[in-house]
Structure 1
Amino acid sequence: MPPISRTVRIGSAHGLHARPAKLFAQAAKDAGIPITIAKDAGSPVNAASILGVIALGIEQGDYVTLTADGDGAESTLDTLAELLTTDHDAEA
């Protein structure tokens, strides 16, 4: 089965900074399958790496492409896409 990709728009008011990046990277790590995230047409990074995710400098409204490969890739991308489109800064 080929890898599955999905493009989503970032919902957090302050982008993917420390707290949302940590939530996202932890969820990607917990999935147990290879997942990458790329901003616009940039190079993909390991989605489970919080430093890699923060280094992308993702802001609210940016589009990112998630790619997952392995069992449960579709449901994993559903979960991660929901994390990215939610405004985690509104909950504080």
Structure 2
Amino acid sequence: MIEFRSTVASAVGLHARPAALFASSAKSSGCTVRLSKVVDGVVSTPVDGASVLRVMTLGVKCGDQVVVQVEGATESETLANLQMIVESVDH
């Protein structure tokens, strides 16, 4: 398992389109992807990153920190793709 911590750059956070992109990428990777929001230095309970609804329930806004955990055969490639989505300004 590998993970990264990053700041969400999209103006809408991980809502609607960015959440759908994240979940779609996670689901198609074949890896297990878990997403957590960091609030006041505390990491929330992780949710299934392949579920757009679960991703949206975290309420991640622009500037929020998240932790993404990836486990599976293509975890390095998957992590890179998800990091690009999280850190991208345009969606």
Q: So what's the TM-score if we normalise by structure 2?
A: 0.91
Aligned to 1:14: 12
Q: For the aligned residues, what is the CA RMSD? A: 0.9
Task: State the distance in 2 between where 1:35 and 1:14 align.
Answer: 21
Structure 1, unpaired ranges of 5+: none
Structure with the larger helix share: 1
- Cα offset for 1:29? 0.3
- Which of 2, 24, 27 does residue 26 from structure 1 map onto? 24
Q: Does 1:50 align with 2:48?
A: no
Q: Which amino acid aligns with 2:21?
A: L
> What percentage of aligned pairs have identical amino acids?
37
Deviation at 1:43, TM superposition (A): 0.3
In 2, the alpha carbon distance for the partners of 1:81 and 1:38 equals 13
The count of residues paired between Structure 1 and Structure 2 equals 87
For 1:1-92, list aligned pairs within 5 A. Answer: 3-40=1-38, 41-89=43-91
3-state SS, counterpart of residue 59 of structure 2 = coil
- Give the drift of 1:65: 0.5
Structure 2 alignment gaps of length 5 or more: none
Give the SS at the match of 1:22: helix
Tell me by how many angstroms 1:88 deviates. 2.5
Structure with more strand by fraction: 2
Find runs of 4+ consecutive structure 1 residues off by over 3 angstroms. none
- Equivalents in 2 of 1:65, 1:88: separation in Å? 20
